[in-house]
Structure 1
Amino acid sequence: MFDPVKDLANQIKHGVPLALAGAFEMDGALIRDDLRFAYGEGRVIATGMIGNRVFVMVYTMRGETMRVISLRKANRREVPKYVNETQGSYPD
């Protein structure tokens, strides 16, 4: 579930619609709490796969519902980190 205004903002900022989060593979994703700021709600950062590409998704849980806050392609630092932590090595 996501806010349509937030979806448009995410598309403008990251070039990715939040609806794509439905294909995010939570199995095998790296999950950590988002402690960068005091948001007033618990946020989670998940790094995982959509198809054959690594993505970073920020979300919060509202009851049983996952509310996607942002979704973007992983950057040059995040891709090898994800591969190293999930598969053991990243080819140079």
Structure 2
Amino acid sequence: MIVDEPQFTGFEWDDNKCQSNIRKHDIDFVDAAHALQRPHYAIVSPRGSELRILAICPDSGKLLSIVYTPRGSAARIISARKANRSERRKYKAVFD
């Protein structure tokens, strides 16, 4: 677990995956990118040869769980959804 003060220079994602995420979770990756710019609770998870990070971020009064992978100084967003109960507890234990 880390508390991240993000300093991304940009964001990227697959447009088809973004549309799929909107249909499935009603969350646009544009909104996820804005949320990732705020301090957040992050869990680092190596997945094969690619490092993935689960970030629990505030967005418009709710918490989002965003999975991304670092690409240099940018972040490639993989998925975004509302945080589940366990994730909300972890976030609130640090930030509340």
TM-score with structure 1 setting the length: 0.78
Aligned letter for 2:28? P
The structure with the largest strand share of the pair is 2
Aligned letter for 2:25? H
Cα deviation for residue 42 of structure 1 reads 0.7
Cα deviation for residue 4 of structure 1 reads 0.2
- C-alpha contact (below 8 Å) 2:65/2:82 kept by paired residues: yes
- Describe the SS at the equivalent of 1:43: strand
Query: Is 1:57 paired with 2:78?
Result: no
Q: For 1:1-92, what aligned pairs fall within 5 Å after superposition? A: 1-35=12-46, 37-38=47-48, 40-87=49-96
RMSD, aligned α-carbons = 1.7
- How many pairs align? 85
In structure 2, the gaps of 5 or more residues are 1-11
Cα deviation for residue 13 of structure 1 reads 2.1
Of structures 1 and 2, the one with the larger relative CO (CA 8 A, separation 6+) is: 2
In structure 1, the gaps of 5 or more residues are 88-92
- Between the aligned partners of 1:41 and 1:61, the Cα distance in structure 2 is 9
Identity %: 29
TM-score with structure 2 setting the length: 0.75
- Between the aligned partners of 2:64 and 2:26, the Cα distance in structure 1 is 12
Segments of 4+ moved more than 2 angstroms: 25-28
| Shift in alpha-carbon separation, 1:26–1:32, aligned structure 2, 3 A | farther
- Between the aligned partners of 1:27 and 1:46, the Cα distance in structure 2 is 10
Which has the higher Rg, Structure 1 or Structure 2?
1
